[in-house]
Amino acid sequence: MNPIQIDSPRPMGGRKISLASRVWNTPSLLVGGLMFAVLIGLAVFIPFISPYQPSEQNLSAFLQPPSSEHWLGTDQLGRDLFTRLIYAARTDLKIMVLAEIIPFCTGVFLGMLAGYYGKWLNTMISLLTDTLIAFPFYLIVIIVAFASGAGERGIYITFMLVGWIVFARVVKGLSASFREQEWVASAQTLGLPGVRIILRHLLPNVLPQAIVVLMTDMIGLLVAIVTLGYLGIGITPPTPDWGTMIADGRSFITTAWWLSAVPGLAVVYTGIALSLVGDGLADLWRKK
């Protein structure tokens, strides 16, 4: 089934060690993974780290600068900025991951179908992607999110509609190039059904590249979630979200600029972490 393993001179045990050492020799994967782990750790353990609640108001201590009591200061309602920032990570990262599942699966599947079967199926799927891609990303995101109502549901619907395109395009190209190779031809000669070839042979080969694309795409999705929140058609208050936090801080940009700057930095931090993980995974699979 898997000729690589049969031909491999390495003993089975050696594979694991080589994987660990390969990971160890990919610094971007390590650093990115660590950065992301720190964020997830904070988001999980924030109730034990912070004595404040994300929506707990204290009107006698509003717009305070950073201090030992409030690490990043407080906002216009006296809410602790650090606490809100980490609770917002819970909201935004959860939506980021959940909103990516269906588009990823749909995109990979349609891409494989279009690339493997080609012909009219490819023409149809290409026409669909060309049509959707003609709409500026933020235009379609804003319109669909608005039409399906603000809040989490709108975000999921939006990305179900437009998020799959990038995966379909990448996987289609890969699948089409694999189709020309001998191992697919031999599988066909053996009389294996198309579905089996796609799922057992094509899928494992396109998945690494698709996952690298997924990392970059998640950054774009996170930025889009935050942008929708900023524009008032994403996450609705009082749920903490980086986008609405930046929007709220806007009115105080002359006096308390960190209210808008810090949530943005959180997005940038997450972006760097995911970007490094993506680069690292690409390196890792290339070395193989």
Partner 1 sequence: MMRLSKTLNKSPGGTVSGSWLILAVVRALVVILCVMTAVFFIIRIVPGDPAKMILGEYSTPEAIQNMRHTLGLDLPLWEQFFRFVKTLFTQGDTGNSIISGTSTRALIAERAPVTLLLIGMACVLAVVVALLLAVLAATHKDQLADHLIRVIPTITLGMPVFWVGLLLILLFSVRLHWFPVGGIGEGWTGTLYSLTLPAITVAFSQIPTLVRSLRAQMLEVLESDFVVTLKAAGIPSRVVLFKHVLRNSALPTLMLLGVNISYLIGGTLVVEQVFGIKGIGSLLFSSIAKRDFPVIQGIALYCAVSVVIISLLIEIISWWLDPRTRGKQ
Query: Cβ closer to partner 1: 50 or 246?
Result: 246
Least distance (Å) between residue 28 CB and partner 1: 9
Report in angstroms how near the CB of residue 17 gets to partner 1 at its nearest: 30
> Residue 222 is which amino acid?
L
CA distance 200 to 15: 21
Residue 224: how many CA atoms within 13 Å on its side-chain side? 28
Q: Which is nearer to partner 1, 58 or 122 (CB)?
A: 122
What is the number of other CB atoms lying within 10 angstroms of the CB of residue 59? 8
> Which residues here bind partner 1, judged by CB under 8 A?
118-119, 122-123, 126-128, 130-144, 146-149, 157, 161, 216, 219-220, 222-223, 226-227, 230-231, 233, 243, 246, 250, 253-254, 257, 260-261, 264, 267-272, 274-276, 279
3-class DSSP state for residue 38?
helix
Name which of 64 and 122 has its Cβ closer to partner 1: 122
Q: Which two three-digit tokens encode residue 234?
A: 């994403």
Q: What's the min distance (Å) between Cβ of 251 and partner 1?
A: 11
Structure tokens at 195: 């579905």
Least CB distance from residue 214 to partner 1, whole Å? 14
Beta bridge partners of 80: 74
83 Cβ contact list (under 8 Å, min separation 6): 46, 50, 52, 53, 54, 56
Instruction: Write down the least CB distance from residue 154 to partner 1, Å.
Output: 8
- Specify the residue, 140 or 192, whose C-beta has the smaller distance to partner 1: 140
Calpha distance 211→195 (Å, rounded): 21
Residue with Cβ nearer partner 1 (250 or 288): 250
Check if the beta carbon of residue 72 is closer than 8 Å to that of residue 256. no
